[in-house]
Chains A and B, each alone.
Chain A
Amino acid sequence: MAEEVNKTYKVPIGPVHVGLKEPITAWLDVDGERIVKATIRPGAIHRGIEFMARDRNPIQIIYLAERICGICSFTHIVAFVRAVEDAAKIEVPARAQYIRTLVLELERIHSHILWAGVACYTFGYDSAFHLGMILREKVMDVLEALSGNRVNYGTGTVGGVRRDITPSVDKALRDMIVFYKSEFGVFYDVVMEDPIAKARMRNVGVLSREDAVTNCALGPTARGSGLRVDLRWSAPYEAYCDMDIKPVVPQDHVGEVHGDVFDRFLVRVLEVYQSIKIIENVLAGLPTGALMWESKLPKLLRHLKQAEGTGWGIVEGPRGDDSHILRLTAEKENITWWKVRAPTYANAVSWPIMFKDNELADAPLIINSIDPCISCMERMVVTDRSSGSEQIVTKNDLLRLCREKTGRVMGA
């Protein structure tokens, strides 16, 4: 301690690691068990979806957008179709809006329960993980009853939805609500009352309110730090205007905010209850009427071909705001450009702050605590095979490249 020697050593967490669901690397400078510095290196799972999209028309892209993420697939397509509807000035029927809201909430439930289970698994609490997986199976069954699929539902389309709530689906939904109301409390107690779970999550990976603001944290990560941010509340879309929604923040429920992993856990678990309530309201207020603005596909495509303009679609996904921006040009079948910003992109910035002065044992838990979706996030990668060197692009470089490219594709 007396001499100034470099006693830290580097530990890579990732790119492939048991505690991580997707490839990302965190290079940690560790002193004993304490993390001194953390460097995040994404770039292992870039797929170039936007580039592929430029050869496709908006209807085809729905199925591409759905595959950006395996968990929040519906969030991505709702954001995408809203952007298309925004650009092409399409009105969505009320019933379709309600069904979209319903599926978004079902997806939130499944995502949050999955996350809570995985978080327990990350600190070795396998029993809670298995309990979570059993609970999640119920909502997966409902999604399967509704759409026939468990992951990519194929339910949304431009101007509406493709699946209706039939009486059997309605029954499955009501069963699910009863099931969660009685069974989910067990999971809540198991984790919230467990001394080791508390010891592992309390004061770990703290993101203060100020840091959450300056680093643009989103979704449950920001709410875990006590920020009242929720697009369903601040900028309601689809049927959320009819629902009574307040952002779930820890201070409203336990009276204090720590901004740690425990608070993020609490927020997600409470949001499951909130989603169940929203689903109840959706079922109660489900309007009758058409499911689509235009059910004849060629007619819809013709309208989309003639549309001209830039469209925005921003949706509160299970992990935070998911934004899709695109441009349609008149007399062109395919979209001109499309930009996706997944919530992990904003939340990942907070990682180095959360890592600081925590322990190595917490590293996978901290990475998982923002519920990262790496394949959602990785929208860009820089490679230079010829020189073989790793190149780091500064913010200004990026900005310049971005403007040049936007200028190019817009033909300016």
Chain B
Amino acid sequence: MILLMFKIIAGVALLVFSSLLSFVFEGVDRIFNARMQLRIGPPLFQPFLDLLKLLGKENIVPRRAIPWAFNGAPWVSAVAAMMIFLYVPMGSLPPILSGSGDLILILYLLGLSSVAMAIGGFASGSTYANIGAQREMVLMMSYELPLAVVIVSMAWFSYRSGMPGEPFSLETFVGMPVWSVAGFTGIFGLLCLMVSLMAVVPAEVGKSPMDIAEAKTEILEGLICEYSGRNLAMMKVAFSIRTLAMCTVVVSLFLPWSLGKMIQIEGPVFFLLDFIFFWIKVFFVQVIGVTLIRTAFGRYKIWQASQFYWFHIAGLSLAGMILLSLDVVL
């Protein structure tokens, strides 16, 4: 009972913390993006101000929308994305819901978040939102293949190479960095898988060059075209939390090193240090995987994005899979 209470309190605290952090990171993303374009950019806390403003605005439901789906979708999307933090180990701290969910669940939560947005788009009753939702679905179908290949190869590798723990659990990967287990070919395989996962990040979080479902100069923000007020605020929350969640998954899988273990600290300081170190790593993954990429490239068309994921990235992840298998078999 006490444990349950503790878990609830810790869970709520973590969700609040990560939501706030996701907004700070979004503010940093906007500043970095602006500086790279030789602009000054908004203040760091602009995303909070935007959110507050949106919460105070009128919430309009279009006449042709399906109200329950239209109003429910942003919440489902945001909550699903938030849930991910309950299953991701924070540095050396085990996840709050340790043992009750694994990588597959995280994948489904990410998927649910995107699908909920697409449902919101379909339920808006607007042509633009409809097109956006269609594009979101097509994009999901495109990046799910490389994503699945990455996850399955990692799990299979951890199982075959005898890493301690459940093969699909993120704790396994955090407990023991895969890089230390893999041999020479395995390192290359892991590199391929890591690049593939990083390539999926922009599509998962809906940022350029994969902001196809929300392309504002083509279909007027697509998915979120009809949203306003509170619902739009929830959509913004869902977007920024999904960005952060995706980056935590990347860090847990591929950059699990613990600073505490390296400099051999013990006690609560060890956990605190690793917790901070974990978010620093997440920050760098977000800056490289989202901010840099979205500054450097324009937007793909939907078939070009599909082609990119189905052929180039899927090919890369398959190559990684083969290299990893070779590493285990040889």
* Residues of A near any B CB (own CB < 8 A): 9-12, 17-19, 33, 120-128, 130-131, 134, 194, 196-197, 199-200, 359-364
Our pick among A12, A127, A200 for the contact of B37 (Cβ within 8 Å) is A127
CB-CB < 8 A to A125: which residues of B? 297-299
Q: Is the CB of B219 within 8 A of A120?
A: no
* B209 interface contact, C-beta 8 A: yes
Beyond A124-B208, A127-B295, A131-B37, is A19–B218 a contact (Cβ under 8 Å)?
A: yes
A-B contact pairs, 13 of them (CB 8 A): A11-B131, A12-B127, A18-B216, A18-B217, A33-B301, A123-B217, A123-B299, A125-B297, A126-B208, A127-B295, A134-B38, A200-B298, A364-B218
CB-CB < 8 A to B209: which residues of A? 124, 196
Name which residue of chain A comes closest to B208, CB basis.
Answer: A124
- Give the one of A12, A19, A197 with max B CB within 10 A: A19
Q: Is the CB of A122 within 8 A of B301?
A: no
Our pick among B36, B217, B304 for the contact of A199 (Cβ within 8 Å) is B304
CB-CB < 8 A to B220: which residues of A? 17-18
The SS class assigned to the A binding surface is helix
CB-CB < 8 A to B300: which residues of A? 196, 199-200
CB-CB < 8 A to A197: which residues of B? 298
Name which residue of chain B comes closest to A122, CB basis.
Answer: B217
Residues of chain B from 294 to 323 with CB closer than 8 A to chain A in the complex: 295-304
CB-CB < 8 A to A9: which residues of B? 127
- CB of B321, distance to nearest CB on chain A (Å): 26
Q: Is the CB of A124 within 8 A of B217?
A: yes
Q: Is the CB of A360 within 8 A of B38?
A: no
Name which residue of chain A comes closest to B135, CB basis.
Answer: A33
- Give the one of A124, A131, A359, A363 with max B CB within 10 A: A124
Beyond A123-B298, A127-B296, A364-B217, is A11–B127 a contact (Cβ under 8 Å)?
A: yes
- CB of B221, distance to nearest CB on chain A (Å): 8
Q: Please, how many angstroms separate the alpha-carbon atoms of A364 and B219 in the complex?
A: 9
* B215 interface contact, C-beta 8 A: yes
CB-CB < 8 A to A126: which residues of B? 37, 208, 295
Q: Is the CB of B37 within 8 A of A130?
A: yes
* B204 interface contact, C-beta 8 A: no
Residues of chain B from 165 to 181 with CB closer than 8 A to chain A in the complex: none
- CB of A248, distance to nearest CB on chain B (Å): 24
Our pick among A12, A123, A127, A194 for the contact of B36 (Cβ within 8 Å) is A127
Our pick among A12, A17, A18, A130 for the contact of B39 (Cβ within 8 Å) is A130
Q: Please, how many angstroms separate the alpha-carbon atoms of A199 and B307 in the complex?
A: 12
Q: Please, how many angstroms separate the alpha-carbon atoms of A320 and B168 in the complex?
A: 63
Per-residue contact bits, chain B 208-230, to A (CB 8 Å; 1 contact, 0 not): 11011001111110000000000
Name which residue of chain B comes closest to A198, CB basis.
Answer: B298
- CB of B33, distance to nearest CB on chain A (Å): 8
- CB of A260, distance to nearest CB on chain B (Å): 14
- CB of B218, distance to nearest CB on chain A (Å): 5
CB-CB < 8 A to A128: which residues of B? 298
Our pick among B36, B215, B295, B296 for the contact of A361 (Cβ within 8 Å) is B215
Q: Is the CB of A360 within 8 A of B208?
A: no
CB-CB < 8 A to B211: which residues of A? 124
- Give the one of B208, B215, B298 with max A CB within 10 A: B298
Q: Please, how many angstroms separate the alpha-carbon atoms of A126 and B302 in the complex?
A: 19
CB-CB < 8 A to A33: which residues of B? 131, 301-303
Q: Please, how many angstroms separate the alpha-carbon atoms of A9 and B216 in the complex?
A: 20
Q: Please, how many angstroms separate the alpha-carbon atoms of A106 and B128 in the complex?
A: 39
Q: Please, how many angstroms separate the alpha-carbon atoms of A364 and B128 in the complex?
A: 14
- CB of B101, distance to nearest CB on chain A (Å): 35
- CB of A18, distance to nearest CB on chain B (Å): 5
- CB of B293, distance to nearest CB on chain A (Å): 11
Q: Is the CB of B216 within 8 A of A361?
A: no
Q: Is the CB of A360 within 8 A of B298?
A: no
Name which residue of chain B comes closest to A130, CB basis.
Answer: B37
Name which residue of chain B comes closest to A17, CB basis.
Answer: B220
Q: Please, how many angstroms separate the alpha-carbon atoms of A19 and B302 in the complex?
A: 18
Q: Please, how many angstroms separate the alpha-carbon atoms of A17 and B216 in the complex?
A: 9
Q: Is the CB of B299 within 8 A of A200?
A: yes
Q: Please, how many angstroms separate the alpha-carbon atoms of A104 and B115 in the complex?
A: 53
Beyond A9-B127, A130-B37, A196-B209, is A360–B219 a contact (Cβ under 8 Å)?
A: yes
Q: Please, how many angstroms separate the alpha-carbon atoms of A124 and B296 in the complex?
A: 11
Q: Is the CB of B131 within 8 A of A194?
A: no
Q: Please, how many angstroms separate the alpha-carbon atoms of A282 and B52 in the complex?
A: 56
Name which residue of chain B comes closest to A9, CB basis.
Answer: B127
- CB of B93, distance to nearest CB on chain A (Å): 38
Q: Please, how many angstroms separate the alpha-carbon atoms of A197 and B299 in the complex?
A: 8
